[in-house]
Amino acid sequence: MRKQIAAANWKMNLTLAQGNALLDELFANGVQPGPAQEVVFGVPFPYLYNVKERIAGKAGIFIAAQNCYTKKSGAYTGEVSAEMLKDIGVDYVILGHSERREYFNETNAMLAEKVNICFEYGLKPIFCCGEPLSIREAGTQNAFVETQIKESLFHLSAEQLTGFVIAYEPIWAIGTGKTATSEQAQEMQAHLRHVFATQYGTEVANSISILYGGSVKAANAKEIFGQPDVDGGLVGGASLIAAEFTVIANSLK
């Protein structure tokens, strides 16, 4: 069975004290992934080492950086390298989130470079893809997301993509309160799995964890995660509320 993942994307939120209090409450609530499940905390750069220490010894719980740079090192003030992240024990890196694409002009080609450097340093990407409202309304969302996947990932080998993690995030449902129906999520995620199967074969495609990201809440997580091609969620706002994220993490298959 492929991994089922509840990933918390804190984005640019919380102080160190607030983050620690949130983790304390989550662990007091009994957040503990079962077999073939993972809980991943995508925290701001300043908190990575602290959170790494706080989750030490907790099975199935990992940390993710929210980004990394395309280069190994150099005169790139303000950027963080994959080598730095690996050196402090980071497990995952969230790449290509729609906010990075929109606000920081990240392209498919740039994300291919970031994926490559993550692999070079043994970091696991959580690769984000998804369409804006205009594309969804035009009915061309499948082709749009397929292009994102092909231009950023199809240079990889079958071995590299085995066990890979994708996060499908309909941009029109992020932070808007709107949520794709469970049927819409399943339709797109089944399409993505088909895209990988066509290029790399069914075995590789069926090993890839495809998360849903787009206003996942305690109230809808069970239904969304219950879809056959939805393998958990990349959770934004609700991951900052212990009671909400506890229910979400416990809704994994």
For 153, the token pair is 């990932």
Of the candidates 97, 99, 106, 244, the residue annotated as catalytic is 97
Catalytic status, residue 79: no
Catalytic residue among 38, 99, 131, 169: 169
User: Is-catalytic flag, 169?
Assistant: yes
Q: Residues with catalytic annotation?
A: 97, 169
